[in-house]
Amino acid sequence: MAEPGGADRWVHSPHGSCTERRFRRSAGLPVTAGSPFGRWLDTDPEVARLLAEEFGRQTSTLQLIASENFTSPAVLAATGSVLTNKYAEGYPGSRYYGGNRIIDEVEDLARERARSLFGAAHANVQPHSGASANLAVYHALLEPGDTVLAMRLDHGGHLTHGSPASVTSRLWRFVSYGVTPPSGDPGQPGEVIDFDQVRDVAKSEQPKLIVAGSTAYPRVIEAEPFRQIADEVGALLMFDVAHPAGLIAGGVHPNPVPLADVVTFTTHKTLRGPRGGAILATAELARRIDSTVFPGFQGGPLEHVIAAKAVAFAEAARPEFRRYAAAVVANAQALARGLAEEGFRVVSGGTDNHLLLVDLRSFDPELTGKVAQEVLDRHGITCNRNTIPDDPRSPFVTSGLRLGTAAETTAGMGVDEMAVVASLIGRALRQRDDPGALAAVRAEVAELCAAFPPYPDLAGPG
């Protein structure tokens, strides 16, 4: 078993935890609301209660949603800071309101740290989410009706990559590429991006923009083949690295910034920052991107979140973050092996990143992703149902689950714990109609989580 309190745990990392701990002790602040400032919510017991309950849920259940993580106490502090009080429409040096001298320094710091972390010429840190970052890029680079080539949603693409449910498909014409069929060969299992298809569709459809990136694809996505194809058809290349941004920062995934015209990402997944988005661009596209974000799409930026993004960028530049990123991938691979041993089919035969897709049909042909998610959620294992490539079931039902290891790696779990987690998942789903067996699973989940609290200083006096 991995030792709780390892190098990547907040209490032992240079994130200001010792200062915060001393502050809480000296001020006598309670820790019942998942925040060092619980006393400030005494006047609103309903919200205080809900925060405490959510803190309890997060720390007593396994967090395996691939798009979630545990931020550092420093990120929490910046997000809850007085910067939320300031209106700052515009950009550093060009605001529509006074009193922004310090705010300008905050945003400049975040922009510089983002540029340095990813080696980019320009960074915009104002997008409120990955979706708003993607929309801003589309508006900056395209005219209504232009053709965009992106990954199929049922093969791993994101809603903003052309889903009929998204405004993106109403404003632009999306065409898609997918993954190769499963081969049945363990050496080359298939279900990887079909670059022959990418090239064929690009040549026949002549897109103005090609989008690389995904929300449910467990393999490395190389930028070079996309760049070559984009150049062949005269298209711009956007790379959406919302999921692997932290793995790129940590050096365990290739960096697409040198090859892409624009890179978008979120700060709250593997990057382990606050909820939000960002855009990296070439110097030539900087003005178009900035003017589309503001005033084109958004009003006043969330400077408290931007400060938290700056904190996260600094954390991701430290050597211990590289160890964390490598551990995330190792844990995902260990979880994939464990689930395969339980009888689940792992899409593409494994994973190179923080997530894996599990085809439930080999485990139980009647078990749907919806049922599996609900059973696991009730017994302390949080994940999400997900379509698998060419899924015969609807996105609301699905034949698969998507699982991620970023959050529990932050909490200190290692490959030994991933083997335990795989066993717990198998037992819960195999015995989903046995209340006694499920109660035992829930008890073991609680015991495991108690050994790896993500915020040990908030769980009680230090």
| Annotated catalytic residue, options 9, 95, 113, 275 | 275
As a whole number of angstroms, the distance between CA 361 and CA 279 comes to 39
Using only C-alpha atoms, what is the Rg of the chain? Answer: 22
- Dump the DSSP string for 267-278: SSSTT---S-EE
**Computed from CA positions of residues 406, 411, 413, 414, in that sequence, does the dihedral angle turn out positive or negative?**
positive
As a whole number of angstroms, the distance between CA 3 and CA 172 comes to 51
CA distances 432 to 37, 101, 342, 344, 401, Å, are 40, 58, 15, 16, 16
Buried (b) or exposed (e) across 41-58, using 16+ Cβ within 10 A?
Answer: beeeeeebeebbeebeeb
The residues, ordered by sequence, that sit 6+ positions from 7 with a Cβ below 8 Å of its Cβ are 13, 320, 323
| Annotated catalytic residue, options 32, 39, 68, 89 | 89
Q: Does the active-site annotation cover 217? A: no
| Annotated catalytic residue, options 266, 387, 409, 410 | 266
Q: Does the active-site annotation cover 87? A: yes
| Annotated catalytic residue, options 87, 282, 430, 444 | 87
Q: Does the active-site annotation cover 393? A: no
Omega within 30 of 0 (cis) for the link into 295: yes
State how beta strands 262-266 and 173-177 pair. unpaired
Task: Quote the crossing angle between the two packed helices 195-205 and 223-233, to the nearest 10°.
Answer: 20
As a whole number of angstroms, the distance between CA 163 and CA 127 comes to 20
Q: Does the active-site annotation cover 387? A: no
Dihedral pair phi/psi, residue 63, rounded to 5°: -100, 100
The residues, ordered by sequence, that sit 6+ positions from 230 with a Cβ below 8 Å of its Cβ are 202, 210, 236, 237
As a whole number of angstroms, the distance between CA 359 and CA 68 comes to 21
Locate the DSSP E strands across 297-394: 345-346, 355-359, 381-382, 384-386
Report yes or no: 375 and 427 within 8 Å, Cβ to Cβ. no
Q: Does the active-site annotation cover 275? A: yes
**DSSP 8-state code for residue 208:** S
| Annotated catalytic residue, options 24, 269, 309, 361 | 269
CA distances 226 to 40, 195, 360, Å, are 51, 8, 32
- The SS3 call for residue 255 is coil
Please identify every residue annotated as catalytic. 87, 89, 240, 266, 269, 275
